[in-house]
Every structure is written in structure tokens, then in C-alpha cells.
A and B are shown apart, each in its own frame.
Chain A
Amino acid sequence: MLSFFKVIFLKKVSKIYKPNIKALYNVSLSIENGEFVSIVGQSGSGKTTLLKLITAEIKPTKGKVIVDKWEVPLIKKKYLPYFRRNIGVVFQDFKLLEKKTAYENIAFAMEVSGCAEQDIEECVPQMLDIVGLKDKANRFPYELSGGEQQRIAISRAMIHEPKILIADEPTGNLDTLNSWDIVQLLLEINKLGTTVILATHGKDFVNSIKKRVITLENGQVIKDQEKGKYIL
């Protein structure tokens, strides 16, 4: 594993909502480049809060959050878009743009960073091919199944070849078979060098992939195991 530096570094991070709700409390952890980390815990344990802190969607009440050399809470508003382009994010509800086709959804991620039309025409079909959806390029999200939509979302997240891919309960809305496919896809992506952070409820996946598992409960890290198992 390439571990020159910690690609994600949290030091004594707390997120407290008024009046006294501790979504995260005194969390310190670090993730190295190229790791595959599963973050598990019950609903309300702080998984989503943790991920939102990493993607700069929210700011911590206390502590340091460093992602790929950016000190996240200090990023100025106008630079946020550029920061976000370095991280791929995948969600439980896919978050695809409903009025755009599969192709356009992926292309959009490239368009916003001003990529040339040629590059887009080259890269997007390749990506669609990799996830096996080449022939559905011109379908709209409502015309695709859950699994297919998630694969489009992953393609969109990966099109910039980001260092980090964050998956927030990506299999939450999918059946078992599709879920396995998605997890396999994530593992493939990780093999190619991308750091993958997977927040999930899925016991079975976590236990079988034998990768690092961080367990959260009530906003605190209670377990951090290298070849962890999902035990609650």
C-alpha cells in the first residue's frame, strides 16, 4: 500500500448541534492513500456526519479535518467547487440529474470543470463501457433500474479520476444482487489506486471483503480494525 501521507486526517473532531446533540465527538482517525475503509454503525451513529465533514458539506464544531492536503473547514466558498471536483461522491439516492441522460450526467461533471468537448466525447463513452452501460447512454434516469443508476453515479464520480471515492450507503436502495455488483465495482476502483470510503449497513459485504472497518456508535469511534468485521 502506498502510504506516503494520510489522504484523510481527522484530529479530535466534534460536531455538536444545538442544544447539545453530539453527532460526532472527539473523533480522530486517519486514512492512507489507496485504502479501502468501511465505516459502519447504526443509524444516528454519525456515519453521514463524518462523510459530510469530509466533503465540506458541513463544518466541524471543533477539531481538524484535512482531506488531500486541504484543510476543509477553512476552504473559502469560491474554492469549494474545485475541492469537490477532487472527490467522487456516491449516494444512497443516486442524486442523478433527472432531466439529463446517462451520458449527459457523466459529461456534466466534466463540463463544470471546463473540459474540452473532445475530451468529453472520448472519456464518457469509455466510462460507460467500463460499467457496462454503453447502450443505455441516452436513457434518462427514470428509464434505468436502481443498479444502473448507481453505476452511472459511480461513473460520474470517477470521471475526474479523483483520489478519493466516498460512498454513502450506495446499496441502501438496491437489492442484494445489485448491491454485490456495486461493492465489486468499488473494490475494482480501489484496486486501481483510488482511496474508497464506504459507509454502510450491509453486514454481509463488510464481513466478506475483509478490509479495514471503522465502527461508530453515538458519535464516537469504538472500533478500528484492519481486517475488521461488522460486529455490533
Chain B
Amino acid sequence: MFFTNLSRIFSLGLKNFWRNIWLSIATTLVMVLTLLSISSLSILNILVKYSISKIEEKIDIVLYIQENNIEGKIDDLRNALKNEKTIKEIIYVSEEEALKKFQEKFGKDTEIQETLQEMNENPLKPSLIIKANEIDDYPIILEAIEKADQEKIVEKINYEDNNKIIEKVSKISENIKKAGWILSGMFALISVLVMFNTIRLTIYSRRKEIAIMKLVGATNWYIRFPLIIEGVMYGIIAAMISTLILFPLFKIISPKVELYFQGLDFNMLDFFISHLFSIIGWQVLVGAFLGVFSSFIAMRKYLKI
């Protein structure tokens, strides 16, 4: 008997969706808007996070090694620092490589080139470029470096100069992240409230029907379940429509975003396609959840009798 009821409830839910089609369409569209706003904001947040991390990546500490140092001692230092968990990468740049980079950078500046040529030897020193995992860890890394540098081969650390920039970037990125979440949160809340109200109206307009079902002897769950299934249907259909809308939208925005992120190696379309399943998945989950939740709360009011 349980399964008979279950299958009946499902088919009732589907039938109801179809027979109240205009109401269903209206509710579904509102849900589509809700999902679109939540999705766009999430993606915006991801983009912001991504760009911030890319910027943070460019920040590093450079340890300038004293002249006339044997590579062996540099390796010792490197090994000593290897176990430091806060350090992401240590790159060694020899004098020759430093010179090469310098020349590439200022190749077109003839004055600099001439000055270089007048100097007989390479004025640039070898260096170790240190990148951290988290931008806040640089002070810890500095300490680690002091400890590790037993033989004091490090002549200069450019951290102090960069420090201010690092602090600034750190602060800005924190604030942007916070603002991003607050804004997203606000919009998500607004969309959810709108959608909740829409479903409430849907159920309100069917209150007569609900009352009759009670008079005929239907239990609360027999009345609730089909409505909950309708809520799920709104959610799933809305998720699919929303994904279909996002796809061309991404295609259009993609080139513009790439322009903005020039040099940061980011392709929006690829991102979208690679994350397609999770995008659909999340929307279906959120949509279905919102649908069910709203239906449930809305019904409590009209099933009091």
C-alpha cells in the first residue's frame, strides 16, 4: 500500500504541475531568476578570488646573495629552508640568468645597455626568489630565513620595500572578499524571499483545493507530498533553464573578461565547461531545496485545520 501511495503522490504532483501550468510557469521563471542571480554572484566571487590569488602570486621576497659565493652554500640555505611549510617555492637565479633577464627587460633602453657594457663585470648578484603559500606568512618566512642563514650569505632582503605593498594588497583583497560575500549574501537572500513568496502565493491560490481534500479525508502528508514534489519540479526545471541561459551568456562575456585579465591566463568558457557538472548539480540542488523548503513552510499555514 505504501508503494501505491508513493507512486500516486508522484503522479499527482506531476499532474498538478501540468494542470496549473500558467502558475507553474510563473513560479518556475521566478526561480530561474533566483538561480541566475545566485549563480552569477558565485561565479563573480570565484573570479574575484581567482584574480586576487593571481595578484598575490606575483608578490615574493628576493634574497640577494653576497658576491663571490659558492653555489654549495646557496644550496645549503635552500635545503635548510625546504622544510619550511609556509614557503611555496624557492627559485634560484644565478648572476648570469639575472643579467639575461635584465637585458631582456631593458633591451630597448640604449643608455642602460651602454652603461652595462662599460662595466666589465656583471653588477647583478645571484638571488633566491621566495614565494609564500599565504600572503600573511611572510613575517614567519623572514624569521625562518634568519634562522636558516647560518653563514649569513644573504646580503639584502627586499622585503622591507615590498612589505608595504604586500600589506596593502593583503588588506584590499580581504576587503574585496568580504564585500563580495556580503553582496552575494544580500542578493541571495532577496532572491530566496521573492521565490518563497511566489510559492506561497501558488499554494494560497490552491487553498480551496486543499480544504476540500481535507474534508474528503486526506491526511496532511497526502496533501503535502504532491505539493513538495511540485516544488522540486520547479527547482529542477528552473535549474536546467538557468544553465541553458548561462551558457550563451558565458560565451558572450568570455572574451571581455579575458581582456580584463590580460596576462593572467584565464579562459572563462573552459572554466564553465570544465565545471559544467558542478554548475548544473549545484543549481539543481539549490533549486530543489528552495522549492521544497518554500512549499513546506507555505503549506503549514494552510494545513492548520
Whether A associates with B in a native complex is yes
A binding-site residues for B, Cβ under 8 Å: 55, 57, 78, 81-82, 84-85, 89, 95-99, 108-109, 111-114, 116-117, 156
Q: Does B140 contact A (CB under 8 A)?
A: no
With known contacts A109-B217, A114-B1, A156-B216, A99–B19 Cβ distance under 8 A: yes
Q: Please give the distance in Å from A192's CB to the nearest CB on chain B.
A: 21
Count, chain B residues at interface, CB 8 A: 19
Q: Are A112 and B215 in contact (CB under 8 A)?
A: no
Cα A97 to Cα B208 with chains together (Å): 9
Cα A179 to Cα B185 with chains together (Å): 61
Total A-B Cβ pairs within 8 A? 48
Partner of A82, one of B1, B212, B217: B217
Q: Is the interface of B mostly helix, strand, loop or mixed?
A: helix
Chain B positions within 8 Å of A111 at CB level: 8
Chain A positions within 8 Å of B219 at CB level: 78, 81, 112
User: Quick one: CB contact mask for B262-305 with A, threshold 8 Å, 1 for yes?
Assistant: 00000000000000000000000000000000000000000001
Chain B positions within 8 Å of A156 at CB level: 216
Chain A positions within 8 Å of B212 at CB level: 95-97
With known contacts A111-B8, A112-B222, A114-B1, A84–B215 Cβ distance under 8 A: yes
Partner of B217, one of A98, A99, A113, A117: A113
B binding-site residues for A, Cβ under 8 Å: 1, 4-5, 8, 16, 19-20, 209, 212-220, 222, 305
Q: Is the interface of A mostly helix, strand, loop or mixed?
A: loop
Cα A113 to Cα B8 with chains together (Å): 12
Q: Are A99 and B216 in contact (CB under 8 A)?
A: no
The 8 closest A-B pairs by CB, nearest first: A85-B217, A84-B217, A112-B218, A99-B19, A81-B219, A114-B1, A81-B217, A95-B212
Chain A positions within 8 Å of B214 at CB level: 81, 84
Cα A135 to Cα B114 with chains together (Å): 105
Chain B positions within 8 Å of A109 at CB level: 216-217
Q: Are A117 and B20 in contact (CB under 8 A)?
A: no
Chain B positions within 8 Å of A99 at CB level: 16, 19-20, 209
Chain A positions within 8 Å of B222 at CB level: 112
Q: Are B4 and A116 in contact (CB under 8 A)?
A: yes
Q: Are B4 and A117 in contact (CB under 8 A)?
A: yes
Cα A57 to Cα B215 with chains together (Å): 9
Q: Are B216 and A114 in contact (CB under 8 A)?
A: no
Chain A positions within 8 Å of B209 at CB level: 97-99
Cα A116 to Cα B3 with chains together (Å): 11
Q: Are A112 and B16 in contact (CB under 8 A)?
A: no
What would 20 more interface pairs be, CB under 8 Å, given A81-B217, A108-B218? A78-B219, A81-B218, A84-B215, A89-B215, A95-B212, A97-B209, A97-B212, A98-B209, A99-B209, A108-B213, A109-B216, A109-B217, A112-B213, A112-B218, A112-B222, A113-B217, A114-B1, A114-B4, A117-B4, A156-B216
Chain B positions within 8 Å of A114 at CB level: 1, 4-5
Chain B positions within 8 Å of A96 at CB level: 212
Q: List 27 interface pairs A-B (beta carbons < 8 Å), by A numbering.
A: A55-B215, A57-B215, A81-B214, A81-B217, A81-B218, A81-B219, A81-B220, A82-B217, A84-B214, A84-B216, A84-B217, A89-B215, A95-B212, A97-B212, A98-B209, A99-B16, A99-B20, A108-B216, A108-B218, A109-B217, A111-B8, A112-B213, A112-B216, A112-B218, A114-B1, A114-B5, A156-B216
Chain B positions within 8 Å of A78 at CB level: 219
Cα A111 to Cα B9 with chains together (Å): 10
Cα A85 to Cα B214 with chains together (Å): 10
Q: Please give the distance in Å from B11's CB to the nearest CB on chain A.
A: 10
Cα A109 to Cα B209 with chains together (Å): 13
Q: Please give the distance in Å from B243's CB to the nearest CB on chain A.
A: 30
Q: Please give the distance in Å from B280's CB to the nearest CB on chain A.
A: 32
Q: Please give the distance in Å from A67's CB to the nearest CB on chain B.
A: 14
Cα A98 to Cα B215 with chains together (Å): 15
| B206 nearest CB neighbor, chain A only | A99
Q: Please give the distance in Å from A200's CB to the nearest CB on chain B.
A: 19
Q: Please give the distance in Å from B261's CB to the nearest CB on chain A.
A: 52
Cα A114 to Cα B3 with chains together (Å): 10
For A81, A84, A98, A156, the residue with the greatest tally of chain B CB atoms inside 10 Å of its CB is A81
Chain A positions within 8 Å of B16 at CB level: 99
Cα A223 to Cα B217 with chains together (Å): 33
Cα A18 to Cα B213 with chains together (Å): 29
Q: Please give the distance in Å from A204's CB to the nearest CB on chain B.
A: 29
Cα A186 to Cα B213 with chains together (Å): 23
Chain A positions within 8 Å of B1 at CB level: 114, 116
Cα A156 to Cα B19 with chains together (Å): 21
